[in-house]
Structure 1
């Protein structure tokens, strides 16, 4: 069917219209949706059912469970809900005795989708007629009772319209057709690729050498020696070489001395064991007292230097008659400082 749409963000809700409401039993009213003067059908992604198809008296319904990752369908249904509230508000003066506020419509509107299992799924309740057609992937008709909650189905839904009373508004959705599909076969088989190990034998090519027997000549040793002397006397040439005086290097002596100095010394372990000298560690209090005494001596020295500097300043003031200078603040600071006795240190 050409007018079955798949929910997307490109859907134009401005073409969606509401027909005039008709009364139902029990004081309720119903207004039907039209898209380009035709009923509104959508095809859903794969879903599960909460309890399969449930029969309640004369009615049959199913709670479709969509994964929380099916954001396109969820967003489309939320936009549909917003559009319904807008259309009702626009028809308020025509349909109702007193005009309704937008906030009143929003508070009285029942959302078609609900969170299920802590947000893992979105639940959408749809009405089902007894003559519903359920198919499998081989286009074979299945009975309604054969659909179990663990089966994945793809559904064709008709967004019929809005049913409302004096208290609430709700969107009526009917399941028109379903197909039971197998779950995603991904990872049902082993897709891990094993590393390919290739055994390559490396042969070292060595040149083959043919060993040939060497000729062995047997001769008397004395004759060979005599012949060698004769040949050497004939081929000898006298060459005068320049004499170079090479001074003996002292590197050998230095190296020898260094080696002698770096000779290893033997140590008798018994001498170490017989050494009765003991090592004593200072107590923490003794260390703290030494630190305190050093700080006290330093403070005394600084105090004496400050007194001498102050006396020198007073002497300069008196010598050059600088009585007009107001340094009372400095003197008072020094007096306060000088009040610190040696006991304070």
Structure 2
């Protein structure tokens, strides 16, 4: 969940104007910005909180921020919140997914490196990824992301594109396919009995119905049943939006986007995301723990981890915004070494 603290309870009809302070705002700005006159990218614009905080530092120094999100609602609302910065040229808004971001960035006039090799083409001084679904999307009942509100089983981050919804998976896919989704994306140990219960309950039409079926499928304490339902919602959302594929695409491309000395900051909210980020910063690839080395044993990794352990929200921030409890921030600095693919080529 991409997190912001609302200034008032948003509820199912909450508006973007209620957004207040994004999670780890000050920590993120300190870790990410090394050159206030540089060009940065926030690839998860959401409510615009992190972008606004970054622009407070960048704009006065002549810096620039590329703000991207796959959700058209986020782009439209950002034109209001960040309108002055957009008009001045300090902010550029792009509606695009992670996988398509490098091409969209190039079309916007910001060059990137070729073949993963840093150099003249790698222009960004830093990239921010605040993963998952935004608080506004969670609190908007019509999006179908939350079991707290009655809503359709949609779960698309971009409702203007893509035909796959949670309803399609739950009502048309086989029990084996649903079990695979629950295991891979929710790490749910009861994936098989849950999938059979979901198939038996067809047709499934609403978030409330989905949560009810999941909680009734297997016995458990109330707290555990709620966590189980949350894992099911997470797994379906990740599958609908191909989140792991999108994340791996942008993590692989990041080394060609960021100049040497620039930084990559990633805020993750569950182990599936954090595991990939940790491996990338250590080895240069999401699937390995050891970096490539030269003949003398020196690391050739394209990233140098700056946070050996993730940065967590403070107790005070968690008390003000309980959703901040699960956030983990990891930061890496771009080295002078090419990405592993480029080195291998």
TM-score range, shorter chain: under 0.3
For normalisation by structure 2, the TM-score amounts to 0.17
Q: Say which one has the larger Rg.
A: 1
For normalisation by structure 1, the TM-score amounts to 0.17
| Greater fraction of residues in strand | 1
| Greater fraction of residues in helix | 2
Q: Which has the higher contact order (CA 8 A, sep 6+)?
A: 2
